[in-house]
Structure 1
């Protein structure tokens, strides 16, 4: 055996490989793990050029993978615009936007990340943004990406005026006189965006680097960008060819309701054929079957239970779902589906069932993401169809978007099946954990803590628990970010565990998340992140 390029010694290495679950040390060469063993055994392999990292007894894990994230868009959004995550009142939001406007002289003043559990059609309008930015157009996107608001100058710029018809799958919120308030729902955002000045490819490349650095700091070495189109693919391809990516990127390409099956297949086949490297690949088709509860576009089997009632339609025709899923499955694409309401979930499962009947069984691990609401009759179908639930546990907690918005809309009976992760896992559903960043933090440790506690990180332990019977275990959470995530991204042959032959994508943590107080998991810091054995993040306090 040649001398390794790299060895890690004195570690508490949890490999996530059941054949060799733990080790003290490992060796890697050419970016891949070549040996595991005791510190003495691995040190004996070192040559004069071997780099030695002393883990100091710390927990060492495979790099985490976030298999539902909007890396490029959110990186550009947070890297170049006002961050509104911390705003909890209208005055706070106005002050953040006012301060950001004063910091630059760009033609537009934009922000991202406002919280739909607090800011709604009833309190966020063009007049609010006019207070913050009276002299330039301003556009702010909600954290969920399904809602946005513009000030008066922005409305004027894009032509949002009284009497304008809603676009397909979109809605312009109107006041009592029929005048647009500036609030946009769903594809009304696309309508406005198409009429606004666009960031350049260089802006989005900056966003990818910003986001990748943030991901590396949190131990993430691989992602699945959950919604890409031509520009995303072009920017990722340029960075990959320049050797500037520090996370492995799989991508799922958007299919629109306006697409014909032939058009969508041709476009995404071209993406797949052109992009198949270890650092960037396109292998999936993405479908939005509904919207979100916060703007009443989640599609439910039965009408909403609150005073307003009503319901939302699926964003694709039902027969169109069956046809598209069958065609993409036959072409051996993975299918990645956004579902919030229980009717959207059922339609997704029906589509996958139709595809399996037509094309036979194969290890697709089609992804059904979010699953905020599910009819209990559909829980066993995930296992039966081999459909993977791609879950964002941070949302499963007592917060306004759940308690003040979603629960009243679905009612007590259906509310018992909200974010039913335990029930799905116990029924044999394959699963992976992810963030949906920028909808919420990409910090996997805060997300895992919430999955285990069903309480918000950083709150008192006495904070109400949201459906405690749906809690997950620590081991399940780590699997959800490692071996299961690698399977979800179709990268399990090369990543997900520290197995000889796989990439040396490795993280060193400041605490043992298997043993520490569960309420301390969210505070975990990543000391070191290696991608293919190369350092992409080092905490200043790590001396190894």
Structure 2
């Protein structure tokens, strides 16, 4: 080769190299450049992320990944003819919020026909509300409602009131009626619903369920707890010919609420696969309507044959559905250990102070959906062994016995790499507090509801006694051990608003945590729970651009103002999926 040719080739090589190095600043790349902000990275490798926020961020428009985080000057170096600059105007940026325990489809379902009853009203005073649920053109259709409080129903029964089913019968005796309690752990039905379900005085309690019966006659009185309520609801669902369409519509409306609240990653905490809930999520993905990263927790039905159910759950598993179109995984199992404190169905080590004399619960220490031995069977056959094999478990445990039994089952069956998550954890025995860290179990708490605040503690004291209630929902105690801890909403039991949960987490007396920790529990910790901490959960070059812009610097305002913060913009993988109307 002649020297002149060699020289030309060398120059061409240099030019090509320069185009590779500097090409990102020139013609073929487009960037979204965000400047003049207060950007909290929540970087797990930076313990002081809260003390030195960045002011600018650059997102690759094509990939949706963060290219740069730093100062304005550095960000503006990425400006090209096709780039655009967003002036954040001093507003605050955080990673997109996670919510690892919610019910977005159930929360927005129209199956109840918009029929709601008040929660703080004795049942005899609800006749007008219930009458508004009656269909005008069908005297035999199922009627679904929601919203009452089980406490008022049980007090009514204890005070000698008439059977609750007869109250509904007075205004609707041909339509079968189901009214779901506000926490979804019991239902109130009329006599027609009991008849269609085949529930009589001789019907035994099913696994995980309680059929309440009149103390004098032995006849069912219309109150079905836990899985007994789930079974009659399944019966009602079969009557809706357009169930799939209604599920899909509910999910789309739920996704809209998520975008408005800055939530970019969720776990559906009860995917009723017999009601085709999972198909609604798949349809949203196929239609390019799925605007969150979603993990579905397939419901484990306590009355099903274990071998048959385990096989069916394996068939439903996917670690990534239609990966080119959306972020959807079906790789969690949602299983209940016990019930609730309010109804005394949560599994306790010692008897409740309050006694509703529920049938089959003579010891007054609550009940199990799944016993410890059954949990061990499901863990052994279905639990995960890494990122791409098997299920993680999302386990409801409220009472101290329920918590202890789940931890025991995990300890007996645990394999390396599992990321099981226990949720609610309202009463935890002191001896079990360190076991979350020791067993690598994620502890998920909900503190959005006002009932979790110290001035409402009397409600729990009335049920379990003062000594057990003093460490109600022990967020700080568990976090202090070094365990992985997350905060979630349990929407629609409580508000979806992430700022309320962050505020309340700092206002719980001896169980209070810092705002910084609360934010981490709603971002990077939750990303870990969803096995996506290498993709999202904090803001850094190379991470996916899931972020939220809010109107207040919640790390530097009075705590009692945090709950009033508003979402201005939500982005998923760099795409703006919500922007507050400025009109």
TM-score, L = length of structure 2: 0.83
- 1:63 equivalent to 2:96? Answer yes
Structure 2: how far apart are the matches of 1:232 and 1:31?
Answer: 29
Offset of 1:241 from its aligned partner?
1.4
Following TM superposition, by how much is the alpha carbon of 1:227 offset from its aligned partner in structure 2, in angstroms? 1.9
Aligned equivalent of 2:56: 25
Q: 1:295 to 1:179 in 2, by over 3 A?
A: same
TM-superposed CA distance for 1:131, in Å, is 5.9
Q: 1:423 aligns to what SS in structure 2?
A: helix
1-structure distance, mates of 2:539, 2:294: 19
Mind listing any 5+ residue stretches in structure 2 that lack a counterpart? Answer: 1-23, 158-162, 358-362
Q: Supply the distance in 1 between the matched residues of 2:556 and 2:118 (Cα, whole angstroms).
A: 31
Q: Superposed, which structure 2 residues align to 1:368-517 within 5 Å? A: 368-395=422-449, 397=452, 403-404=458-459, 406-454=460-508, 468-517=509-558
1:201 maps to 2:201: no
> Quick one: distance in 1 between partners of 2:544 and 2:251?
22
1:42 is aligned to 2:75: yes
> Does the residue aligned with 1:294 lie in a helix, a strand or coil?
coil
Cα distance change, pair 32–519 in 1 and its aligned pair in 2 (3 A):
same
3-state SS, counterpart of residue 182 of structure 1: strand
SS of match in other structure, 1:325: helix
Question: How big is each residue's C-alpha offset from its partner over 1:277-327, in whole Å with a ceiling of 9 and x where there is no partner?
Answer: 351101122221111122221111122233566222333233222233233
Q: CA deviation at 1:113?
A: 3.3
Q: Quote how far apart the aligned CAs of 1:116 are.
A: 3.6
CA RMSD of aligned residues (A): 2.8
- Structure exhibiting the larger radius of gyration computed from Cα positions: 2
Paired residue for 2:222? 182
User: For each residue in 1:67-105, what CA deviation from the matched residue of structure 2 results, as whole angstroms up to 9, or x when unmatched?
Assistant: 011122222158853344665555775444444558997
Cα distance in 1 between the residues matched to 2:137 and 2:183: 26
Shift of residue 221 of structure 1? 0.9
Task: Give the deviation of 1:260 after TM superposition.
Answer: 5.6
User: What residue number does 1:460 align with?
Assistant: none
Q: 2:42 aligns with which of 13, 16, 20?
A: 16
- SS of the aligned residue for 1:350 comes to helix
Tell me if the contact between 1:14 and 1:59 (Cα under 8 Å) persists in the aligned partners.
Answer: yes
Contact 1:506 1:531 in 2 (8 A): yes
Question: Would the aligned equivalents of 1:121 and 1:183 in 2 still touch at CA under 8 Å?
Answer: no
Residue of structure 2 in register with 1:457 after alignment: none
Q: Which among 405, 420, 426 is matched to residue 366 of structure 1?
A: 420
Matches within 5 A, 1:209-220: 209-220=252-263
Q: Which runs of 5+ in 1 are unaligned?
A: 455-467
- Measured in 2, the distance between the counterparts of 1:502 and 1:85 equals 45
Q: Is the 8 A contact 2:269 2:297 kept in 1?
A: yes
Whether the aligned pair in 2 keeps the contact of 1:60 and 1:507 (CA below 8 Å) is yes
Change (3 A) 1:444 1:266: same
Pick aligned residue for 1:81 from 109, 114, 120: 114
User: After the TM superposition, which residues 319-330 of structure 1 pair with which residues of structure 2 at under 5 Å, given as runs?
Assistant: 319-329=373-383
1:191 is matched with 231
Query: What is the number of residues matched between the two proteins?
Result: 524
Residue 211 of structure 1 and its aligned partner are, at CA, apart by: 0.9
Is the partner of 2:436 in helix, strand or coil? helix
Given that 1:4 and 1:27 are in contact with CA atoms closer than 8 Å, whether structure 2 keeps it comes out as no
Offset at residue 250 of structure 1 (A): 0.6
Distance verdict in 2 for CA 1:306–1:444, change over 3 Å: same
SS of the counterpart of 1:253? strand
1:126 and 2:165 correspond: yes
